[in-house]
Amino acid sequence: MQGREILIGVTGGVAAYKTADLVSQLVQSGARVSVVMTPAAKQFIGATTFEALTGRPVYESTFAPQEHHVGEHIGLARRAELYVIAPASADFLHKLAQGAADDLVSLLALTTTCPVLLAPAMNNEMWIKPAVQRNVAQVQSDGRHTIGPRDGWLSCGAVGPGRMAEPAEILAECSKLLGKVKSK
């Protein structure tokens, strides 16, 4: 992971707390990490957490560049060697399957040329719906990689599929995918 550029997209879901752990593990392994958040993600975790972990600003707006004046969706996409979206909510999977780009996280999914790894997380009843499964199949068919979700205890008190893969498991998949990508 040493010196590799990883972009992390955070969508709205309780599992966003696990993304902070993933970001910490990536940084500790030597990766350079940039975090992008949807408006819904900010309802579950604060940007300050990710700024403290990465030493970089958190990107939230398509129209207010902080670093890349050609647009964050261009600059961040060009810099990234891997784009990980964790958690990937049902809403986000729908956007990605349809090619929607109404926030910076989804816009980056369209502009990146690096591998994209999705870590779905949602209520078990949402996960099993045909629409969600169609969207997952579509994003996989489009060449995106997925990890999970896993069976387990969910924040709503249910037990079943929908739990985001553990950060260590996602980290291992990141390492595997980066092994296939020439360093920039």
The sheet carrying 58-59 orders its strands as 58-59, 32-37, 5-10, 82-88, 116-120, 145-146
Q: Which residues contact 180 (CB under 8 A, 6 or more apart)?
A: 115
Question: Which member of 44, 156, 169, 175 is catalytic?
Answer: 156
Which segments within 21-81 are labelled E, that is strand? 32-37, 58-59
Q: Are strands 159-163 and 150-153 parallel, antiparallel or unpaired?
A: antiparallel
| Distance set, CA 117 to CA 65, 80, 146 (Å) | 25, 12, 5
The identity of residue 122, as a single letter, is M
Pick from 123, 125, 150, 149: which is nearest to 136 by CA? 149
Is 156 among the residues known to form the active site?
yes
- Distance in angstroms between the alpha carbons of the first and the last residue of the chain: 13
138: left (phi over 0), alpha (psi -120 to 50) or beta: alpha
Enzyme catalytic residues:
156
